[in-house]
Structure 1
Amino acid sequence: MTTAAFIGLGVMGFPMAGHLAKAGLTVRVWNRTSAKSEQWAEDYSGTSCTTIAEAVKGADIILTCVGADKDLKAVYEGDEGILANAQEGAVLVDHTTASAGIAEYLAEAARRNGMGFVDAPVSGGQQGAENGKLTIMCGGSEQDYAKAQPVMEHYARALNLMGPAGSGQKTKMVNQIAIAGLVQGLSEALHFAEQAELDVAKVVDVISKGAAQSWQMENRSGTMIAGEFEHGFAVDWMRKDLGICLEEARKVNASLPVTALVDQFYADVQSMGGKRWDTSSLIQRLRKFR
């Protein structure tokens, strides 16, 4: 695959598309805000397109990274959308964190149009995207995945096919459910250490060598202690993701009491003005309401 179209140049899509250009692919990009796609074309070797139709025409692989289900429908459907303008045989790869239902819907629509589809949500945040070290969880056929895999490897640390369409999104839900509990647990631990008048940094140094260790502890405890949250994955985005998790849980009859509780804690953080704070800002809620 030599020609790629990348639709959606947010904090994740912008560097991800950049890795494809640096790898030597012919890359055409489109973003809802044209200034962003024009800036991308200045930073990388590629073409900024004014319409989705222009970007996807003749592309071997089309990658999307937008906001939510409604945004996916906006870029995939309609006379100017991906499905109406991509060539037969193209593989469509969606990196948006969205519902399993929309992934299944788009996979079927792609099949009817003679195209492949892989739902491929990512984990690793902006830093992972910039460093080309994302974890990618994929759903789709083995044939479509095999075509898309070499392209995704340009910005992946790890990627796996988890099952049929929708399986990537469901795996991402597992990821977000686990993170929600971990961040709340770490927040409570650090808050307890503060209230007990311990040297919190020394506490973390000790317990991070044992069973309590986690990625969140290694990468977020320092900024949590310092009260710095202007970085990383925003609370607004996490609430969107947890809403998807809770909706899917109802469909599959899964009980997620801790996830539901943490979702409400994030609502408290939003009401404190922390909509764009990093998800580790859960500790601020404890500091406020102690």
Structure 2
Amino acid sequence: MTVGFLGLGVMGTPMAANLARAGADLIVWSRTDRGNTPPGAVRARTAAEVFGKAGTVLLMLATEQAIDEVLAGVDVSGKLVVHMGTTSPEFSAGLNDKIKSRGGRYVEAPVSGSRGPAEAGELIAMVAGEPADRGETARVIAPMCRQTVDCGEVPGGLLMKLAVNTFLISMATGLAEAFHFAEAYGLDPGLLRQVLDAGPMASAVSRVKAAKLVTGDFEVQAAIRDVLKNNELIVEAARRRDVASPLLDVCRSLYAETAALGHGEQDMAAVIHGLRATRRPAP
């Protein structure tokens, strides 16, 4: 069966490449042609061409608007449409209804992981939809993922993704604040990194972000603008359930400030620029 993949951005390009390397009969499309068609894949001229040839189509599109625009002019009848990006759970639930009303099948499978895990095929997918469709999706996306987690019905996958990102954002921002604090006292950031990497709080994420904070190399793994979007989705979802989100409220302001300073396309570790620009509250 031919698999379609829409969206060859920071995450989508390595994800599609892993599918192609695994031998999938892959047809891809992206709004911008950066010359990044994975070896072994065929590049379509339009999204409609992908839907015309593929039985399963994976979406790794950046925004809800982009998804709506792409799907507006295509025939999804008989197709399994898998939404792998991050949007609001409400949008995904509505998309589920739209796809099914047009004769298609729908699964959401947002992933946890940034560009590095995407390149290594080490993403964690949170799959939600009809039981048979969840199983079929897990088989298709296996080359991209270290693990797929069954999250039940839509929008269980995206709700789980927002919960995961709550921890990710607060953790990475706290790490940047630790380096900001050390900087203010003239501590050696390399030594701080050494202590953190050796200690019980170390993780794959903290090691990558600490290295960036030491070197000042903010080449993107997860961009400030994307983290801000995810942060806003979390805060909005918390408000709908009257759930307290004090950490993410503060993080949203810091990422917005960092983006306003011109660092939106840099890695999320660049939030330290937002911390440096933030005034200390009066005692």
Is the TM value for this pair above 0.5? yes
- Written as runs of structure 1 = structure 2, the 5 A alignment for 1:149-188 is 149-188=138-177
Which residue of structure 2 aligns with residue 108 of structure 1?
Answer: 97
- Written as runs of structure 1 = structure 2, the 5 A alignment for 1:226-241 is 226-241=215-230
Q: How far apart are the structure 1 equivalents of 2:103 and 2:276? A: 55
1:188 Cα deviation from its structure 2 partner: 2.1
**Equivalent position to 2:195, from 181, 206, 212:** 206
Q: How far apart are the structure 2 equivalents of 1:187 and 1:267? A: 15
- Written as runs of structure 1 = structure 2, the 5 A alignment for 1:253-268 is 253-268=242-257
Contact kept in structure 2, 1:67 and 1:96, CA below 8 Å: yes
- Written as runs of structure 1 = structure 2, the 5 A alignment for 1:268-283 is 268-283=257-272
Aligned residue pairs total 279
Letter in 2 for 1:262: C
Contact kept in structure 2, 1:138 and 1:163, CA below 8 Å: yes
Contact kept in structure 1, 2:76 and 2:103, CA below 8 Å: no
Which residue of structure 1 aligns with residue 241 of structure 2?
Answer: 252
1:198 Cα deviation from its structure 2 partner: 2.9
- Written as runs of structure 1 = structure 2, the 5 A alignment for 1:2-151 is 2-33=1-32, 35-36=33-34, 39-41=35-37, 43-77=38-72, 80-81=73-74, 85-88=75-78, 90-151=79-140
Distance change (3 Å), C-alpha of 1:31 and 1:184:
closer
Per-residue CA distance 1:186-243 (angstroms, 9 max, x = gap): 1222222233333332233224333332333211112202222132211111111111
1:66 Cα deviation from its structure 2 partner: 0.6
> Secondary structure, in 3 states, of the residue corresponding to 2:127?
strand
Contact kept in structure 2, 1:59 and 1:87, CA below 8 Å: no
Distance change (3 Å), C-alpha of 1:254 and 1:9:
same
Q: How far apart are the structure 2 equivalents of 1:269 and 1:11? A: 20
1:288 Cα deviation from its structure 2 partner: 4.1
Q: How far apart are the structure 2 equivalents of 1:133 and 1:55? A: 26
Alpha carbon RMSD of aligned pairs, Å?
1.9
Q: How far apart are the structure 1 equivalents of 2:27 and 2:144? A: 17
Per-residue CA distance 1:114-145 (angstroms, 9 max, x = gap): 32211111122122222211111122121111
Instruction: State the identity as a percent.
Output: 28
- Structure 2 length normalisation: TM-score? 0.91
Q: How far apart are the structure 2 equivalents of 1:14 and 1:222? A: 24
Contact kept in structure 2, 1:140 and 1:161, CA below 8 Å: no
Distance change (3 Å), C-alpha of 1:203 and 1:154:
same
